[in-house]
Amino acid sequence: MKILVCISNVPDTTTKITFTDNNTQFNTNGVQFILNPWDEIALARAIELTDGGKGSVTVINVGETSTDATIRKALAIGATDAVRINAKPHDAWYVAYQIAEYVKANPFDLILTGKESIDYNGSKIAGMLGELLDLPSVSIIKKLDVDGTTATVEREIEGGKEVLTIPLPFVAGTAEGVAEPKIPNMRGIMSARTKPLTVVEAVDVKTFSEIISYETPAPRGQVKLVDAGDPAQLVELLHTQARVI
């Protein structure tokens, strides 16, 4: 079984976010980039499904040379090989289109993504890939098992769980519960240096969105304490100041 895992290069969650050029560009100076945590879950499950010689795991990233360190980490975790599409990831449509074009020329039995990336939280790639490749797509899954040419996935819905059986190939966006992220060991780190990392040039594609500017959230205000014995004051504040009721 050939599995493709789509990975993103994202800022660490502890990063202090700032912008430049009149708030039109994300300031990358001093920023530590990491492998998107949701993609790590997808990668971990792909490795489990192919463990023991049952298949191969390819990771793919749309990014410039600065993302190579993140790709090498995915290889150290256990991916068989990697592909980097040499382009700046403008938006979700652009990323999905580039990956879809690669997959059309290099088919896979299963395509996994994280449910979202922790920078933009768009949750779009899995659905777009399914549409572009004319494949079934399901998000956000909490469990994934494969038996032959059929997969069983589970996801949470309002009031319960939904269990689906899907023929391979298909696309899935994974969430917590699918697998536990794996920590690369020394052997994996050493072997990652020699594993294949293929660089593919991007194809031309029209973009449909443009970032005009960024804004940081407003600073948190001071906490207002309400006496536990005065619920009427709490209700009044929620109504007149917080305006949530």
pLDDT in tens, 25-51: 888 888 899 999 999 999 999 999 999
Look at the block and give the residue holding tokens 């032959």. 148
Give me the half-sphere count of Cα atoms (radius 13 Å) on the Cβ side of residue 174: 30
pLDDT band, very low/low/confident/very high, at 219 (cuts 50, 70, 90): confident
Contact 34, 10 (CB under 8 A): yes
Structure confidence at residue 48 (pLDDT): 96
> What is the C-alpha to C-alpha distance for residues 104 and 107, in angstroms, rounded to an integer?
6
% of the chain beyond a pLDDT of 70: 100
pLDDT band, very low/low/confident/very high, at 207 (cuts 50, 70, 90): confident
> What is the C-alpha to C-alpha distance for residues 129 and 103, in angstroms, rounded to an integer?
10
Is 90 exceeded by the pLDDT of residue 215? no
Here the tokens at position 238 are 């929620």
pLDDT band, very low/low/confident/very high, at 15 (cuts 50, 70, 90): confident
53: left (phi over 0), alpha (psi -120 to 50) or beta: left
**pLDDT digits over 70-95, tens only?**
999 999 999 999 999 999 998 999 99
SS3 track for the chain: CEEEEECCEEECCCCCCCEECCCCEECCCCCCEEECHHHHHHHHHHHHHHCCCCCEEEEEEEECHHHHHHHHHHHHHCCCEEEEEECCCCCHHHHHHHHHHHHHHCCCCEEEEECCCCCCCCCCHHHHHHHHHCCCEEEEECEEEEECCEEEEEEEECCEEEEEEEECCEEEEECCCCCCCCCCCHHHHHHHCCCCEEEEECCCCCCCCCCCCCCCCCCCCCCCCCCCCCHHHHHHHHHHCCCCC
Q: pTM (2 decimals)? A: 0.86
30: left (phi over 0), alpha (psi -120 to 50) or beta: left
The average confidence (pLDDT) of the chain is 92
Average pLDDT value for residue range 171-179? 94
Q: Quick one: which of 178, 98, 96, 94 has its CA closest to 137?
A: 96
pLDDT band, very low/low/confident/very high, at 64 (cuts 50, 70, 90): very high
Contact 171, 126 (CB under 8 A): yes
